[in-house]
Structure 1
């Protein structure tokens, strides 16, 4: 039987690489094409046939939802599964995607096992699961240092503790600079205090924003049993106290970790997150945070 061909669409190359490594590590015979935005995906879909599309929602030029609407209008793609892979897990967004004809939903961050389960389910529905299983390998490897993508589907929370506590940053923490990784100098950052939530595999960590730039964010999290790992994919939720319920979700990966000592004890961990989003609205949001030197306002990037 011919092999399965999958199209991966995401403006973040880091996320595309994670998905490709996960699928190839599980199904070595699988064929994968990739696109960095909806327009490129549209061109590929106009000239090729795929068995499955894995697509981000928020992308420049053409969003994942716009691509989905166009995709369902094409007769040659009738019955082809289309899975949305995104951090937009709110009920309204899920309903909107279902109405447009989405096959399934995978929230960022997600585990490799969860992604594979969704792929198998989608291909079983289209009658192509046998071809996928013929390419199966005995082990799963995502190459992500701890399999650090976690799920948010249907707007649900992943093992979050409620209510989320507000974080009191220790006074001594800013005076204790983190040990920097031996890499190129980090871009200039705006020093600003604010609150956020760092979403990890199966957990949500309240954190305080120490610094932010267009490329990265540095946050402080309380030391605990669950901590992020280097190169793990995370989602940063900004939920500031301006009397709104909107949330800004920024996709990122963990670039560096360092302990923050206070009187010889380590109670806090500094996490340096590099943004992977290239969506213009998200970049504009970060720019406005930097310009104001504050994280006191909400912003929800549009589709």
Structure 2
């Protein structure tokens, strides 16, 4: 192993690739290993030491929280930086992770600046940053997010109503009007209307604002079904953007979000939502 090593744990290959690309571009010489879920990561951690762990929360077989709880019981691993990378930003979840010994928290969707800022801080605290030729990176306000700030605020709630664009909704729209949706991309939140939904992707209508998502941005689609408690957070990335009218001042934009989640529970929830929409 190299002098500084990191383990990336996520069941979504796209997210793992996104993290690895960001780390390699800012930290030359960093040794990166990956695991496809918490169970595989535990096997790897049982025989190999790492200087930093970046781990998703929601994974099949063994969740990120369960991996963290096990990891902190291992000899000599009480202070190894363990950063949770997840769409779970609720206060109760953050408190639970803190009690289990999490070092820091990166909320999905994240920008490269947010991720690198947290990694740099963790390596510096562990005394490992000086061993790398870390490149400077501009950080914005979102990159300064800390556990304290997460505890002091909650994600903006899903709006009680979503805007109704003056465009026809196609015949394969899932969930009809029974699901509320919000798209989150790198610190931005967009109320949206579901135009179509499948197990692979979602086509969403969002109102054009000062900023728009960019192709290949990591994203999270929050889905809240009427009459049920809780929100399903589906991880993905922006695949395409298209104006809904043939004019430059078009107010509505069609965003295609490709899902990267492989969590069986989320796929089952999506299947039920699609079935209720008549598909």
Does the TM-score normalized on the shorter chain lie above 0.5?
Answer: yes
How big is the alpha-carbon RMSD for the aligned residues of Structure 1 and Structure 2?
Answer: 2.8
Q: CA deviation at 1:118?
A: 1.1
2-structure distance, mates of 1:212, 1:170: 17
In the alignment, is residue 135 of structure 1 matched against residue 120 of structure 2? no
Match of 1:192 in 2: 176
Q: CA deviation at 1:173?
A: 3.7
In the alignment, is residue 291 of structure 1 matched against residue 275 of structure 2? yes
Aligned length: 269
2-structure distance, mates of 1:243, 1:260: 32
**Aligned counterpart in structure 1 of residue 220 of structure 2, from 235, 238, 244:** 235
Runs of 4+ in structure 1 deviating by more than 4 angstroms, as ranges, are 149-153, 188-191, 262-265
In the alignment, is residue 172 of structure 1 matched against residue 181 of structure 2? no
Q: CA deviation at 1:109?
A: 1.0
Classify the secondary structure of the residue corresponding to 2:17.
helix
Note if contact 2:106-2:118 (Cα within 8 Å) is conserved in structure 1.
yes
2-structure distance, mates of 1:102, 1:255: 32
Given the superposition, is the C-alpha separation of residues 261 and 69 from structure 1 closer, same or farther in structure 2, using an over 3 Å criterion?
A: same
Q: CA deviation at 1:112?
A: 1.3
Match of 1:26 in 2: 26
Match of 1:38 in 2: 38
Classify the secondary structure of the residue corresponding to 1:192.
coil
Q: CA deviation at 1:135?
A: 2.5
Give the TM-score taking structure 1 as reference length: 0.80
**Aligned counterpart in structure 1 of residue 231 of structure 2, from 233, 236, 247:** 247
Given the superposition, is the C-alpha separation of residues 36 and 150 from structure 1 closer, same or farther in structure 2, using an over 3 Å criterion?
A: farther
2-structure distance, mates of 1:292, 1:94: 32
Match of 1:279 in 2: 263
Given the superposition, is the C-alpha separation of residues 189 and 41 from structure 1 closer, same or farther in structure 2, using an over 3 Å criterion?
A: farther
Give the TM-score taking structure 2 as reference length: 0.87
Given the superposition, is the C-alpha separation of residues 151 and 15 from structure 1 closer, same or farther in structure 2, using an over 3 Å criterion?
A: farther
Match of 2:66 in 1: 66
1-structure distance, mates of 2:268, 2:107: 23
